[in-house]
Amino acid sequence: VIKRSFSTSMAKNAIKNVTVIGGGLMGSGIAQVTAQAGQNVTLVEVNADVLKKTETSIATSLARVAKKLYKDKPSDGEKFVAETRGRIKGSTDPIASVKQADLVVEAIIENIDIKHKLFKDLDAAAPPTTLFASNTSSLSIGEIASVTNRKDRFGGLHFFNPVPVMKLLEVIRTPETSDETYQAFMAWGKSIGKVCITCKDTPGFVVNRLLVPYMAEAVRMYERGDASARDIDTAMKLGAGYPMGPFELNDYVGLDTTNFILEGWHKKMPENPLFEPLESMKKLVSEGKFGIKSGEGYYKYDKK
């Protein structure tokens, strides 16, 4: 066993400036928790309109955090919100946004070609020491990194929705991710208050690799008519202690997302029966029924 000493390189590499690309559901949460930890964030979106929406959603989420943390002292809460927001700078220029970055976290649309284009541009623009990470749920980190010249400084940082609430961060190493990069990712995850686990660059990492087939099996039971969606949910909540049943979880995650992940994995691994596409899910998605966000999925929801 070879033991290495990390102490000197760790301090030198402490991450202070983080660029988050994509300010949707995940990116806005990643930007928020990073700023809450006292680090400087540049948040990149496609245009000023989307950027504004992102900033509003972060402000709303921060107000919620402040209400909890500063119940008895609302003035401190306001200060906390203002200071945290002050550390987040919006941008629509990905090239300029990475010039000072110690770490870039990508959380844009789940599309390999669009991610490749982005990372090619970023790789040419960022200092050689900048670490790159993708928050992808279902694509291969090695494949995303393949277009860059910094495969040793590239890895996966996979967050969970909602980012400010969910404690877990999956840190993904490809065979080319260096020890130093990996250690920097682990230290950074801790610095923003997450509990890190490590996983190889394998489809779905830990959580989704186990969760997606489980949700798919639940749908298959329902499609066979073995039990109703409601009863399967009740069974898993009361019999297995899960906080949500598989259909509630499917509707929460978004049927379009789960369907997309399953289709991608099925294409890659057609021999694995766990990843067979699901008829009822495909139908709901084709009808625009994505779950909670569209008002209907396996269940119907009151639109607010």
27 scored as a contact of ligand NAI (CB under 6 A):
yes
Angstrom distance (rounded) from CA 99 to CA 42:
11
Closest approach, Cβ 260 to ligand NAI, in A, equals 9
161 scored as a contact of ligand NAI (CB under 6 A):
yes
Beta strands in the chain (DSSP E): 17-21, 40-44, 88-91, 103-106, 131-134, 154-158, 168-173, 195-200
Which member of 42, 45, 164, 185 binds ligand NAI (CB under 6 A)? 45
Cβ partners under 8 Å of residue 205, min gap 6: 156, 158, 170, 172, 199
Which member of 6, 10, 17, 50 binds ligand NAI (CB under 6 A)? 50
Cα distances (angstroms) measured from residue 63 to each of 58, 69, 80:
9, 10, 9
Angstrom distance (rounded) from CA 277 to CA 77:
47
Cα distances (angstroms) measured from residue 168 to each of 1, 32, 207:
29, 15, 10
42, 97 Cβ separation under 8 angstroms: yes
Rank residues 77 and 245 by Cβ distance to ligand NAI and give the closer one: 245
Among positions 130-159, residues that touch ligand NAI (CB under 6 A) are 135-137, 158-159
22 scored as a contact of ligand NAI (CB under 6 A):
yes
44 scored as a contact of ligand NAI (CB under 6 A):
yes
Closest approach, Cβ 111 to ligand NAI, in A, equals 8
Among positions 255-294, residues that touch ligand NAI (CB under 6 A) are 257
57 scored as a contact of ligand NAI (CB under 6 A):
no
Closest approach, Cβ 261 to ligand NAI, in A, equals 8
* Catalytic-role residue among 170, 248, 250, 259: 170
25 scored as a contact of ligand NAI (CB under 6 A):
yes
Angstrom distance (rounded) from CA 153 to CA 193:
22
Closest approach, Cβ 1 to ligand NAI, in A, equals 34
Closest approach, Cβ 127 to ligand NAI, in A, equals 20
Angstrom distance (rounded) from CA 47 to CA 297:
30
Helices (H) and strands (E) in the chain, counts: 13, 8
Annotation says 137 is catalytic: yes
CA-based nearest residue to 212, from 155, 147, 281, 150: 281
* Catalytic-role residue among 28, 134, 135, 137: 137
| Residues annotated as catalytic (active site), given as ranges | 137, 158, 170, 208
Interacting residues toward ligand NAI by CB under 6 A: 21-27, 44-46, 50, 94, 107-110, 114, 118, 135-137, 158-161, 253, 257
